[in-house]
Amino acid sequence: MDISDAASTTTTKTVTEYDRAKEVQAFDDTKAGVKGLVDAGVVNIPRIFIRPPAELAEELTTHQSKLQVPVIDLDGIRYNQLEDIVDQVRAASQTWGFFQVINHGVPLNLIQEMIEGVHKFNEQDVEVKKQFYTRERTRNVRFNSNFDLYHSRTASWRDTLAISTSGTKSLEPNEWPKVCRDTIMEYIKEVSKLGETLFEILSMALGLKPEYLKDMGCFNLYSVICHYYPHCPQPELTLGARTHSDPSFLTILLQDQIGGLQVFNENQWIDVNPMSGGLVVNIGDFLQVVSNDKLKSVDHRVVANVHATARVSVACFFTGHTTETQKPFGPIKELISEENPPVYREFLVGEYFSKYFSKELEGKSAGLKQFEA
């Protein structure tokens, strides 16, 4: 049985009989997420998770390359190799939009504790998790499944714990999930240090002073997104995360050793193989805008988890200012000339987010296109 046959077998109802809104509401009302479906012993995934037939058919012809994203050893900073590292980051950011870093300074034991913490949160009693279940974006801590559940064509097979934070405000102790509070707080502190270093390197990669991007306001770490991908009984029919680019200047991603992240490069999907102790770094939409297309924000996705053990990842998004009252961002003036005119207009981060969260998660073109000059 091929993928298209499996899809038709799973979805036997006619279009007129199928009430997607009802199925979405029923799923959301459980407040148990995708893990709740797995715990209930689901064999055939609900139709809201099944990708369109045309998309499934295209998947059969998509080549997946054995290429690998660049790996950059940041330990060289200590040995007068900064210039070489800047060159590596520039090349990776211009061609891939992705790279992995090792010897990055985030303690390896903390990385493991962070992975375990995400497992602990998702695998605790469902009634405890339900206290955090919400779709109110004003809440600092939110647990749910698929932020775009109500307006997406296809739901993704994952649950998410999202924490909004910044350098200027702190969450009350009772806002944090107790089971992983201390670990997440420490992880945010360490990743912020790494983020500061990376912004300095990226500034130099653009031919600017090391503090340039930070002084612009790009550095603010606004959200930490902890994804939990349970085993999927029909992984060929859905995705763990649909194709998208990131609404950020920079994203630092911790993925466990199970893997599943893929980057689109040269018209093919390429696996980002996990590295023990490594962290994935990718350029976000905002940095492509301010660099005037010198640095690339690239589409990526996560395949559904075929393993018995749940996969987890933690994405830290550096989004800069997040309210409409803050200053606008646009192409950096030092990077603009008659030969290199601005590709984008100025924008407010809040403006971008209002559009981003009102549509489904699907590719970067719509996000960046709205800010073209």
Q: Which of 255, 347, 253, 250 is nearest to 310 (CA)?
A: 255
Q: Which of 267, 250, 266 is nearest to 216 (CA)?
A: 250
- pLDDT, position 171: 76
Which residues have CB under 8 Å from 147's CB, separation 6+?
135, 160, 162, 357, 361
| pTM for this predicted structure | 0.91
The CATH-assigned architecture of domain 3-369 is Sandwich (2.60)
Sorted by where each begins, the domain ranges of the chain are 3-369
Mean pLDDT, 10 residues at a time, over the chain (373 residues)? Answer: 45 61 97 98 97 87 80 89 96 98 98 98 97 92 95 95 74 87 94 96 98 92 92 97 93 96 93 95 96 96 97 95 70 95 88 68 61 76
DSSP lists the bridge partners of residue 270 as 65, 263
pLDDT tens for each residue of 160-186: 999 987 644 577 878 899 999 999 999
- pLDDT, position 166: 61
Alpha helices in 206-240, H assignment, sequence order: 212-216
Place of tokens 């893929």: 262
Please give the structure tokens belonging to residue 239.
Answer: 């995705």
pLDDT tens for each residue of 94-120: 999 999 999 999 999 999 999 999 999
